[in-house]
């Protein structure tokens, strides 16, 4: 039974966990000290404790972000004089501020209530004055928009959602690079230990709708009254990584951050994902494909990215393309992958059978008890060959009583791997499914795993930013819109605190 299964049992008393998994009929040898787990390895020191930022200060940081107004102007251009229709009561950028403020004040009604207060609305006006000038600020109404203003403009934002997402993404990446994140000019560390600001970390989350109702109508058994309920059309039952079921919609996001600095998380890309069958939801991709697309979109715009991490939804087919682009891809090993033969090395006095096990090259041996054991081979170097297609190799050492041997094991998909087996009609070897550049259960692998796990705290912040941990939006598009606003709020905090002392 995996380690996290016992954790589930402790944290969910009275709830049945997953069925006990069948123990493998082989054992894994000790992980050696090598280039992946060097002698004297030290993780990054723990950073300072993050201070609590009050809601009004978060709002001030948000409205002081000049890029927010630029994006609003590009996505929602104002009407030119002479166009038909009533002039808007508020300029479009106010509604982008409004949707971001939902994640500050927990709901649209709370935003309305706060924006009707002179002291709060003054913060917004001063932010506009700082970014757009006195003339624009003086044109704003004396109080902020009410909820019905927001509800009238929300459909327009949803219709423009693809463009809003794309332009927000491009703007976030440019701002991140300007702050030294994902920059080619910043020290990049090494291939095995990249600087944290050069690593993009992805995570999928299920956001709960305002209501758990799954049926539009229900009948009161006592009175016979027929009641009508609002049902989220895109929500469904999903199982998270801890085995718990949750009703909601799937969203995927990528972010990065500065090592040891609180409030430095920077969201880079976000989109919704399909969790139903393609027939029921033909317009969206499933989580792994969405995450892969988001990662490629970031790398296209940020050449300083050196590594990407995600959960076990990424399989070999997803990792291959990123590896070809020269990216270190880290995921934990998927359950159920059996040892796969790599090569038999024959020397003058000995023969060694090498298998891919637990993400790395291992030698197959038989213990005195007749048990099959796979001993991880020490990796002395991660060799990198740049080009149109990047190539990565583990230079391994094969221990032997006749003297150690050195071999190079490719950890990228080779041309030989891509050949189709005439018998199975599949690729000859799914190498990136079985081998990792930085395998799990190594010091450097655990370091990258910690980065990915930290990205989950971003989604926890999303949940805690809204009442009852529910995103106040019905439908996948409306939920994505709220997430975009949330990301704008978090990035604005990062921007405001970047130049100052650790906040």
In degrees and rounded to multiples of 5, residue 252 shows phi and psi of -130, 135
pLDDT digits (tens, 9 = 90+) for 349-386: 999 999 999 999 999 999 999 999 999 999 999 999 99
pLDDT per position as a tens digit, 63-97: 999 999 999 999 999 877 666 667 778 999 999 99
pLDDT band at 242; cut points 50, 70, 90: low
pTM given for the model: 0.90
| Average pLDDT of span 403-413 | 96
Average pLDDT for 461-489: 94
- Reported as type and span, the H/E element at residue 313 is none
In tens, the pLDDT along 165-195 reads 999 999 999 999 999 999 887 667 899 999 9
Q: Is the pLDDT assigned to residue 289 strictly greater than 80? A: yes
Q: Determine which helix (DSSP H) or strand (DSSP E) holds 417, and give its type and residue range.
A: helix 415-418
Q: Which tokens is 275 given?
A: 């969790």
Query: At residue 502, does pLDDT exceed 80?
Result: no
Alpha-carbon distance of 234 to 281, in angstroms, equals: 9
Q: Which residues contact 405 (CB under 8 A, 6 or more apart)?
A: 345, 347, 352, 397, 398
**pLDDT tops 50 at residue 40:** yes
- In this predicted structure, the answer to whether residue 134 has a pLDDT above a threshold of 50 is yes
- Tell me what pLDDT residue 244 has: 78
Nearest Cα residue to 29 out of 333, 330, 378, 350: 378
Q: Answer yes or no: are the C-beta atoms of 492 and 68 closer than 8 Å.
A: yes
Both tokens of residue 223? 């009175």
Q: State the pLDDT at residue 327.
A: 97
Contact 467, 243 (CB under 8 A): no
Burial label, 367 (beta-carbon count in 10 A; 0-12, 13-18, 19+)? exposed
| Residue range 321-348: mean pLDDT, rounded | 94
**Distance (Å, rounded) from C-alpha 435 to C-alpha 61?**
44
| Residue 18, φ and ψ in degrees, nearest 5 | -70, 155
Mean pLDDT over the full length of the chain: 90
Contacts of 446 (CB under 8 A, 6+ apart): 440
Per-residue pLDDT tens over the stretch 481-497: 999 999 999 999 999 99
Element (H, E) at 279: none
Burial of 51: CB neighbours in 10 Å, binned 0-12, 13-18, 19+: exposed
Is the distance from CB of 332 to CB of 449 less than 8 angstroms? yes
Q: How far apart are CA 124 and CA 328, in angstroms?
A: 42
Confidence at residue 21, expressed as pLDDT on a 0 to 100 scale: 67
Q: What is the model's pLDDT at position 33? A: 97
Residue 189 confidence (pLDDT): 83
- The pLDDT score that the predictor gives to residue 335 is 81
Residue 307, classed as helix, strand or coil, is strand
* Amino acid 458: pLDDT: 87
How sure is the predictor about 11, in pLDDT bands with cuts at 50, 70 and 90?
very low
pLDDT at 78: 81
In whole angstroms, give the CA distance from residue 157 to residue 488: 15
pLDDT digits (tens, 9 = 90+) for 156-173: 999 999 999 999 999 999
14: pLDDT strictly greater than 50: no
Q: What is the pLDDT of residue 241?
A: 64
Can you give the pLDDT at residue 3?
42
Phi and psi at 179, nearest 5°, equal -90, 0
């Amino acid at each position: 039974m995996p380690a996290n299964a016992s954790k589930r049992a402790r944290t969910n008393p009275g709830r049945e966990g997953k069925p006990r998994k069948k123990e493998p009929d082989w054992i894994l040898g000790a992980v050696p000290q090598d280039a992946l787990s060097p002698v004297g390895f030290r993780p990054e020191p723990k950073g300072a404790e993050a201070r609590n930022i009050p809601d009004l200060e978060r709002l001030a940081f948000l409205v002081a972000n000049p890029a927010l107004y630029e994006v609003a102007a590009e996505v929602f251009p104002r009407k030119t004089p002479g166009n038909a229709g009533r002039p808007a009561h508020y300029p479009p950028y106010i509604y982008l501020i409004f949707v971001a403020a939902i994640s500050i004040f927990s709901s649209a009604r709370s935003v309305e209530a706060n924006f009707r207060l002179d002291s709060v609305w003054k913060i917004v006006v001063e932010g506009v004055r700082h970014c757009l000038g006195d003339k624009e600020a003086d044109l704003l109404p004396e109080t902020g928009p009410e909820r019905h203003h927001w509800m009238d403009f929300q459909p327009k934002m949803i219709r423009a959602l693809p463009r809003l997402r794309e332009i927000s993404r491009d703007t976030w990446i440019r701002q991140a690079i300007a702050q030294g994140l994902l920059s080619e000019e910043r020290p990049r560390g090494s291939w095995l230990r990249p600087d944290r600001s050069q690593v993009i970390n992805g995570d999928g989350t299920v956001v709960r709708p305002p209501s758990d109702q799954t049926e539009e109508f229900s009948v009161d058994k006592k009175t016979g009254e027929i009641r009508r309920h609002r049902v989220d059309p895109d929500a469904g039952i999903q199982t998270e990584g801890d085995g718990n079921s949750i009703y909601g919609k799937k969203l995927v996001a990528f972010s990065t951050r500065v090592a040891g600095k609180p409030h430095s998380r920077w969201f880079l890309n976000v989109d919704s994902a399909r969790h139903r069958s393609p027939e029921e939801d033909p317009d969206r991709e499933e989580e792994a494909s969405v995450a892969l697309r988001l990662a490629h979109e970031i790398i296209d715009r940020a050449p300083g990215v050196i590594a990407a991490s995600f959960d076990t939804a990424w399989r070999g087919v997803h990792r291959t393309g990123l590896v070809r682009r020269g990216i270190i891809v880290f995921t934990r090993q998927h359950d159920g992958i059996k040892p796969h033969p790599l090569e038999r090395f024959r020397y003058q006095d000995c023969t060694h059978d090498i298998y891919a096990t637990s993400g790395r090259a291992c030698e197959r041996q038989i213990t005195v008890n007749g048990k099959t054991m796979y001993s991880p081979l020490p990796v002395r170097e991660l060799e990198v060959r740049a080009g149109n297609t990047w190539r990565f190799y583990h230079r391994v050492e094969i221990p032997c009583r006749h003297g150690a041997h050195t071999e190079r094991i490719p950890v990228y998909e080779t041309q030989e791997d891509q050949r189709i087996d005439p018998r199975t009609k599949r690729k000859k070897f799914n190498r990136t499914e079985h081998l990792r550049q930085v395998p799990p259960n190594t010091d450097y692998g655990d370091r990258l795993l910690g980065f990915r796990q930290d990205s989950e705290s971003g989604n926890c912040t999303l949940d805690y930013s809204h009442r009852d941990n529910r995103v106040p939006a019905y439908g996948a598009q409306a939920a994505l819109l709220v997430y975009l606003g949330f990301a704008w709020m978090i990035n604005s905090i990062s921007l405001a605190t970047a130049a100052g002392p650790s906040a």
